[in-house]
Amino acid sequence: MFGALLRFFRERAGMTQDSLGAYVKYSKSQVAMVERGERSPKGQFVEIADDVLSAQGALLAASVNLRASRFPAWFEEYAEEEAKAVAIYMYANHVISGLLQTEDYARAIFGAHCPPLEDDEIEARVTARLERQHVLRRKPAPVVGFVLEEVTLTRPLGGRQALKGQLENLLEVGRRRNVEIQVMPHKRQVHAGLNGPMILLDTAERNQLAYVEGPSGGYFIHEHPELGNLFARYGILRAQALGTDESAKLVQEVAQAL
């Protein structure tokens, strides 16, 4: 709401994002992020913008209860469903799943974002990712399963020590009774997940839901036959992957070699 109001007053004043940015010491892209609700205005942004846009206190009033979301706008609905789901199943092929990430590993991922994120945004996203992991310890505990590509165990995001700490965290989380972690080995000659990563949920209402992410955001799949196909695909992935004991042994071997 604040971002939409800011854009309204900026356009009414005939000012571009560039020119407003010159007043508030923001780049054009940073002003655009505030208008889209993706970034919280910092410092004297609100006071200066209210003055130069002749908003007559409207922006000041709108900012009183302004709260930046913990997540990108396109991820919020999924995060709400995940927090209350009775079962969560994830297949990851590039990086270790967010619910399993350590702070250093998550910070390395967000630090590699393109285009680059601001430092405060990186920290906000890291904090939000770690807070999401409370679902693993929630009572009643959800059933949670992961299938990770073997390459995610060896890609040194954040450096050797960050990866070692991440692998040790996998072993620790994998000991929880409600969590199963499986690894899909390189040597498999058939693979049911070549279409990419996915997340499957059994919601609090006992409905099935799938969530798929792309480079620019994510979307839900809740209609058959697509939904049924994804659940079937995940079942085949689990059968093709190493068992939990074999997977833990592989993770331990990779960690010890670092």
Phi, psi at 80, each rounded to 5°: -65, -45
Question: Crossing angle for the helix pair 160-173 and 103-111, nearest 10 degrees?
Answer: 130
The yes/no answer on whether domain 73-257 falls in CATH 2.60.60 is no
- Please determine, for residue 139, whether its predicted confidence score (pLDDT) is greater than 90: yes
User: Which residues contact residue 69 at a Cβ distance below 8 angstroms, ignoring those fewer than 6 apart?
Assistant: 37, 76
pLDDT tens digits along 169-214: 999 999 999 999 999 999 999 999 999 999 999 999 999 999 998 8
pLDDT tens digits along 208-231: 999 998 887 789 999 999 999 999
> Which residues make up the CATH 3.30.870 domain(s) of the chain?
73-257
Residues 88/198, Cβ–Cβ less than 8 Å? no
> Which residues make up the CATH 1.10.260.40 domain(s) of the chain?
2-62
Looking at every residue in the chain, the average pLDDT score rounds to 92
Q: Which CATH class is domain 2-62?
A: mainly alpha
What single DSSP character describes residue 146? E
- Output the pLDDT for position 69: 56
Residues 90/97, Cβ–Cβ less than 8 Å? yes
Q: Give the mean model confidence (pLDDT) for residues 83-98.
A: 96
pLDDT tens digits along 40-80: 788 899 999 999 999 999 999 988 876 555 666 667 788 88
Question: Which contiguous run of DSSP H or E holds residue 181?
Answer: strand 179-184
